[in-house]
Structure 1
Amino acid sequence: MSYFDKFSLQGKTAIVTGGAGILGSHFCKGLASAGANVAVIDINIERANEVASDINNKYHVKSTGIYCDLTSEQSVIEMVAAVKAEFGQIHILHNNAAGKSSNLEAFFAPFEEYDLEQWKEIMSTNLDSMFLVAKHVGKAMKEQGIGGSIIQTASIYGVMGPDNRIYEGSYYMNREINTPAIYSASKGGVVALTKYLATYWAKDGIRVNTITPGGVESGQNETFKKNYSNRIPLGRMAQAEEMVGALIYLASDASSYVTGQNILVDGGLSAW
C-alpha cells in the first residue's frame, strides 16, 4: 500500500465557495494539484473564471467558474444543479466563503454601539450561507450514496477571544481595524455547525471538518504584522499557501477516519 496515494484526489470533483478570494484561489489550485476537478464558486464571476482558467492551463483537470450569491437559497440551488450538470457527482465541498461588510464604519464599530442590522448582515453572510451550501450540497452527496468530505473555514476568533493589543496602531488596506464580536460569533457558529453535521451525516459516509486559519499576511501594515507575530510561537504571520495542506488532507482518503474536527493552522497561537 502507498500511503502517499491516499492524498490523491484524482477523479474527484470539488466545490470551493469563495474560490476567487485570497485564500480561496490557493485552495482551488491546491485541490487541482492533487488531481481534483474544481468548481470555483464566487459572486465575482469574472475573477472565478480567471481562477478556473489558470487551473485549466496549469493542471490536468477540469475547472469552471460558477456564479452564486450564497445568501440566496435559490442561487445556491442553481449553483449545485450547475455543478452536477457540468461535473456529474460531487465528492468534496470546501464551504469557504465569507463576506465583507457593505459598511466598514458599522462593521468596525465598538460593541456597545453595534447596529443590529449590521450584526444580521454579517451573520447572514458568514453563517447562514454556510448552512445553505451545506444543506444543498450535503443533500446531493447523500443522494449519490458514495459519501463525501465537507470542509468548512472558520477563524481563530471562532475559538478564542482576540488580543485587542494587537490592533493598536494597526491598519489593513490603509484603514484602522479591529475584530468585531459578530465575526467571532459567526465563526464560532461555523465550528459548532461542523460538529453537528459530522454526527448527523456520519451514517451516510459524509465527513465534516473545519479548517481554522490563523492570521494570513495580505496587506496589513507593519505595526499589525509586528504585533501579531509577537503573539505567535512561530514568530510570523502565515502565507496563504500554508493553509492548503490541511485542506488536501481533510478532502482526501488520508483523513478517512477524521470527522467533526477543527484543525487550527495558526502558527501555535492557540497553544499559548
Structure 2
Amino acid sequence: MSEISYKKLFDLTGKTAIVTGGIGILGRQFCSILAEFGANVAVVDIQYDSAIDFAAELESKFGQKSAGFYCDVTNPESVEQMVNDVIAIFGEINILHNNAAGKSNNLTQFFAPLEEYDLDQWNQIMDINIGGMFLVAKYVGKVMVEQNKGGSIIQTSSIYGIMGPDNRIYEGSYYLEHQINTPAVYAASKSAVVGLTKYLATYWASKGIRVNTITPGGVESGQNDIFKQKYSNRVPLNRMGKSHEIAGALLYLASDASSYVTGQNMVVDGGLSAW
C-alpha cells in the first residue's frame, strides 16, 4: 500500500466547482474556501453583476480561474444555459455545491402564520428551494455522467429541515425589521433536500458521483440581539454560528478526503440537534 498524503486529499487543484447562490452570506464563504484550496470556481447567482464582481475578487485573491454566471434556478432553460456556459469556459465540472435558496420578495407573506399562509407563496418557495435544486442537480449530474470521471455534489439544507423550530425563541425576534419565525414551507423544502440527496446518492453511485448534504444551524446574518440570545440559549456551544464555520464541511465533502462518503447529512449546528 502506497503512503497517503492526507494533506493532498483536500487539494482541489485542477477541479472546477459550481456554487449556486454564490454571492450570499454563506455562498461567498463556500466559493472562497474552494478557490483557496485550488479549485476553479463558477460563481452562480441570479444577481449577475455581483457574481461577476465577486468572481474577479476570488481570482485576484487566490489566483484560481473564476467567473460569474447568471442563473434562475427555477427555469430549466436558464439552468441548462448556465451549465453549458460553465463548460465552455472551464471545460468540465467536478464539484457542484447546490446552495441556492430563497425566502421571498414579500417577507410579510413569507413569515405569515400557518393558518393564513398563501398557496402561491408556498409554491414560490418550493419552486426555488427544492425545484431549483432538482434542476441544477439534473443538468450538472448529466454532465458528470458523460464525463465519466465521477464528481461530488453537495446540497445545502437547514437545521429546520431535520428538526422542528422552538417557537419561543421568536418572541420579540426580528430580521430586517420583520417579526420572524420558521415558516412551514421553509422546513418542508429543506427537509426535501435531505431526501433528494439520499436518492441521488444511490442513483449515481455506480457512476462514482457522490452526493451529500450540509445542514447549517443558525448563522448570524442580521438578526436582532433578542433573537441571537434566545437562539444561543438553545445551543450547547451557547452561540450562533459564523458564516465561515460552515465552509470546512464543504471542503471535506468536495474533496477526496470524503471519497467513501455519500448519501450523508453533515450537521454543523453547535450541538443544537443534540439536545
TM-score by length of 2: 0.98
Match of 2:28 among 13, 25, 28: 25
Structure 2 residue 29 is matched with structure 1 residue 44:
no
Q: 1:94-145 CA distances to partner (integer Å, 9 max, x unpaired)?
A: 0000013122111111111111111100000100000000000000000000
Asked if the contact 2:107–2:178 (Cα under 8 Å) also holds between the matched residues in 1, the reply is no
Structure 2 residue 245 is matched with structure 1 residue 255:
no
Give, as a single letter, the amino acid of the residue that structure 1 aligns with 2:91.
Answer: G
Provide the residue aligned with 1:217 in structure 2: 220
Give, as a single letter, the amino acid of the residue that structure 1 aligns with 2:260.
Answer: Y
Provide the residue aligned with 1:172 in structure 2: 175
Distance in 2 separating the partners of 1:171 and 1:109: 14
Q: Equivalent residue of 2:222, what SS?
A: coil
Give, as a single letter, the amino acid of the residue that structure 2 aligns with 1:190.
Answer: V
Pairing of 1:179-258 with structure 2 (within 5 A): 179-258=182-261
Asked if the contact 2:23–2:50 (Cα under 8 Å) also holds between the matched residues in 1, the reply is yes
Give, as a single letter, the amino acid of the residue that structure 2 aligns with 1:45.
Answer: Y
Q: Equivalent residue of 1:89, what SS?
A: coil
Provide the residue aligned with 2:19 in structure 1: 16
Distance in 2 separating the partners of 1:205 and 1:233: 37
Distance in 1 separating the partners of 2:18 and 2:60: 19
Distance in 1 separating the partners of 2:6 and 2:107: 47
Match of 2:102 among 77, 96, 99: 99
Pairing of 1:80-91 with structure 2 (within 5 A): 80-91=83-94
Provide the residue aligned with 1:6 in structure 2: 9
Q: 1:218 Cα deviation (Å)?
A: 1.0
Provide the residue aligned with 1:66 in structure 2: 69
Specify every segment of 5 or more residues in structure 1 that has no aligned partner in the other structure, as ranges: none
Which region of structure 1 is more displaced relative to structure 2, 11-20 or 107-116? Answer: 107-116
Q: Equivalent residue of 1:66, what SS?
A: strand
Specify every segment of 5 or more residues in structure 2 that has no aligned partner in the other structure, as ranges: none
Distance in 2 separating the partners of 1:87 and 1:193: 27
Give, as a single letter, the amino acid of the residue that structure 2 aligns with 1:270.
Answer: S
Distance in 1 separating the partners of 2:122 and 2:162: 19
Identity of aligned residues (%): 68
Provide the residue aligned with 1:265 in structure 2: 268
Provide the residue aligned with 1:124 in structure 2: 127
Provide the residue aligned with 1:157 in structure 2: 160
